[in-house]
């Protein structure tokens, strides 16, 4: 996504004085086919939308009147114009499932994976047009050399076994040929996707191997992104059972050790592992992670164990020693997540089944597909009329949805009537019911047929539940 085409504007503040609306309307002129809708909390994550998104709307709403403090709502709207045949659209004769042209996503993904164990890896390209954001050749070569490193240093390799001994003994015996960044599975799925991408970029920048704590469900959600060697942290690694209790006051926490002057720049022998606390509640000492001189110290630590719920890629850009490498990897800064997301995150077969079945059943045949995501924080299942008003104001004003005809109850169907499929994702069903009823109770001014769907409404976030996360991932990643 190009920030030049990323417009923000404020909608008029509503009359009641104790409400504040912040509405960002990023416009993306990506002429691609596919559909997506995001549960991600950060605008930057929209870069993941490699897809045919014409309009994105992000809206944050805060309602201080409610007792439940922080009544935040967030909505994203994606308008997608299908201008090319997709599987299941009834016109896929020109494309055969076996030979997608762009299956390696412009060289981003390595060839030669077993495609049966991860159907989405090569099939997702069938649903999308080529990305307008070309990965730099430097990024591609960096990814290939990362894959070599991962092969050489991945779980149970000779180097891994040797470095694991250091972790077990707590001794640091000088430079090691493989160093690791361990990502702890923490927070909701959207946040985990963002932090994993951030941790991977950190691994690329520091020549570390990314190993992923499997939490309860990581292995069921994502395919393995690297060839041959797993990215999953082996179960027998010390401390894995303590990951959930790691926090800013843990004895191995880097920020805590700095605070207590247990480590400093001038320290001679650095520990064999450190815990990095990059969660939203982190303190000033934890944030020193983003300083050059701290990076110099951390370089010597073979095991870094990280917990975060922040998309910290932008902070990496602020570290002077990473600057040059980052600009070579990503000449187009805004596309970091776009590329890394497409490289790393491939839905598992179970999730790919949810995605493609839903797509074929409800979305494929429409002339146009629109995604709307509503997220209202900490408000249970309540549907707020003012949030509803905002959704309608935005979608009508931006001509994402057609105006309804209040004068007539029946309009003669014009010839070649167009259909739009609206995919609404939300934890509750109220907004979906409202929009669906609106277009059932009234005809549209344009005569267009509006079909509104909601795959699931799970009422509240259930971070640890398998099917919940499968569905969440399926809704984040419609083809
Ligand atoms: C590394 O250690 C594991 C478990 O102790 C063992 O099964 C494996 O063969 C070792 N790898 C090498 C290359 O020696």
Contacts of 22 (CB under 8 A, 6+ apart): 10, 59, 60, 61, 62
pLDDT at 267: 72
CA 156–ligand 1 middle distance (angstroms) = 5
Distance from the alpha carbon of residue 297 to the mean position of ligand 1, in angstroms: 30
Any idea of the CA torsion for 365, 424, 5, 334, to the nearest 10 degrees? -100
Q: What is the pLDDT of residue 329?
A: 98
Neighbours of 410 (CB within 10 A): 7
Say whether pLDDT at 18 is over 50.
Answer: no
Q: Are 87 and 72 in contact (CB under 8 A)?
A: no
Residue-wise pLDDT for 414-444, tens only, equals 677 889 999 998 888 999 999 999 999 999 9
Task: State the distance from the centre of ligand 1 to the C-alpha of 181, rounded, in angstroms.
Answer: 20
Question: Is the distance from CB of 192 to CB of 183 less than 8 angstroms?
Answer: no
Least confident of 29-43, 378-392, 394-408: 29-43
Kindly give the distance from the C-alpha atom of residue 228 to the centroid of ligand 1, in angstroms, as a whole number: 16
Our answer on whether the CB atom of 161 is closer than 6 Å to any ligand 1 atom is yes
| Cβ partners under 8 Å of residue 430, min gap 6 | 381, 382, 383, 388
C-alpha of residue 165 to centroid of ligand 1, in Å: 12
230 CA → ligand 1 middle, Å: 14
Across 69-83, 143-157, 396-410, least confident range = 69-83
Separation between Cα atoms, residue 395 and residue 78, nearest integer Å: 10
Mean pLDDT confidence for 59-64 = 30
Whether 208 contacts 181, CB under 8 Å: yes
Q: What is the mean pLDDT of residues 157-180?
A: 91
Average pLDDT of the residues in 210-221: 94
Please identify, by atom number, the ligand 1 atom nearest to the C-alpha of residue 156.
Answer: 1
Residues of the chain with pLDDT > 90, as a percent, come to 57
Q: Which band of pLDDT confidence, cut at 50, 70 and 90, is reported for residue 197? A: very high
Parallel, antiparallel, or unpaired: how do β-strands 20-24 and 72-81 relate? Answer: unpaired
Average pLDDT over the chain reads 79
- Residue 215: per-residue pLDDT: 92
Report the alpha-carbon distance of residue 56 to residue 26 in Å, rounded. Answer: 5
Q: Which atom of ligand 1 is nearest to the CA of 160?
A: 1
Which pLDDT does position 464 carry in this prediction? 61
* CA angle, residues 20, 25, 27, in degrees to nearest 5: 175
Q: What atom in ligand 1 is closest to the CA of residue 158?
A: 13
Ligand 1 within 6 A of 236 CB? no
- Please tell me the pTM assigned to this model: 0.79
Q: Could you tell which of 161, 164, 165, 168 is best to mutate to test the pocket of ligand 1, judged by most ligand atoms within 8 Å of the CB?
A: 161
Structural domain spans, the chain: 4-26+349-476, 137-331
């Amino acid at each position: 996504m190009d920030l030049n085409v990323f417009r923000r504007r404020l909608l008029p503040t509503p009359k009641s004085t104790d409400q504040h609306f912040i509405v960002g309307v990023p416009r993306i002129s990506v002429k691609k086919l596919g559909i997506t809708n995001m549960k991600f909390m950060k605008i930057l994550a929209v870069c993941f939308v490699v897809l045919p998104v014409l309009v994105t709307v992000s809206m944050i709403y805060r309602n201080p009147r409610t007792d439940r403090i922080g009544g935040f709502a967030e909505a994203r709207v994606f308008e997608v114009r299908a201008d090319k045949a997709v599987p299941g659209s009834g016109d896929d004769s020109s494309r055969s499932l076996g030979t997608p042209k762009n299956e390696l996503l412009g060289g981003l993904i390595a060839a030669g994976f077993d495609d049966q164990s991860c159907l989405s890896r090569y099939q997702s390209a069938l649903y999308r047009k080529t990305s307008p954001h070309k990965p730099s050749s430097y990024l591609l070569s960096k990814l290939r050399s990362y894959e070599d490193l991962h092969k050489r240093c991945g779980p149970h390799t000779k180097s891994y076994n040797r470095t694991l001994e250091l972790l077990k003994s707590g001794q640091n015996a000088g430079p090691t040929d493989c160093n690791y960044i361990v990502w702890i599975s923490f927070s909701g799925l959207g946040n985990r996707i963002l932090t994993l991408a951030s941790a991977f970029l950190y691994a690329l920048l520091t020549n570390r191997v990314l190993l992923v704590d499997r939490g309860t469900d990581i292995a069921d959600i994502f395919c393995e992104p690297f060839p041959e060697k797993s990215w999953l942290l082996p179960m027998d690694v010390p401390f894995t059972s303590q990951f959930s209790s790691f926090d800013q006051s843990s004895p191995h926490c880097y920020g805590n050790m700095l605070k207590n002057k247990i480590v400093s720049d001038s320290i001679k022998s650095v520990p064999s592992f450190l815990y990095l606390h990059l969660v939203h509640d982190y303190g000033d000492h934890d944030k020193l992670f983003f300083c050059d001189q701290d990076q110099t110290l951390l370089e010597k630590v073979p095991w870094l164990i990280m917990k975060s719920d922040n998309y910290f890629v932008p902070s990496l850009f602020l570290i002077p020693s990473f600057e040059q490498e980052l600009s070579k990897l990503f000449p187009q800064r805004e596309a970091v997540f776009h590329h890394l997301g497409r490289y790393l995150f491939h839905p598992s077969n179970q999730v790919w089944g949810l995605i493609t079945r839903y797509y074929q059943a409800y979305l494929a045949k429409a002339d146009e597909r629109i995604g709307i995501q509503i997220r209202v924080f900490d408000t249970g299942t309540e549907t707020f009329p003012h949030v509803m008003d905002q959704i309608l104001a935005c979608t009508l004003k931006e001509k994402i949805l057609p105006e309804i005809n209040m004068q007539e109850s029946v309009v003669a169907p014009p010839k070649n009537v167009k259909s739009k499929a609206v995919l609404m994702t939300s934890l509750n069903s109220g907004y979906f019911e409202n929009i669906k009823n609106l277009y059932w109770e009234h005809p549209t001014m344009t005569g267009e047929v509006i079909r509104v769907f909601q795959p699931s409404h799970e009422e509240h976030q259930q971070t640890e539940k398998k099917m919940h996360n499968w569905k969440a991932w399926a809704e984040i990643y419609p083809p």
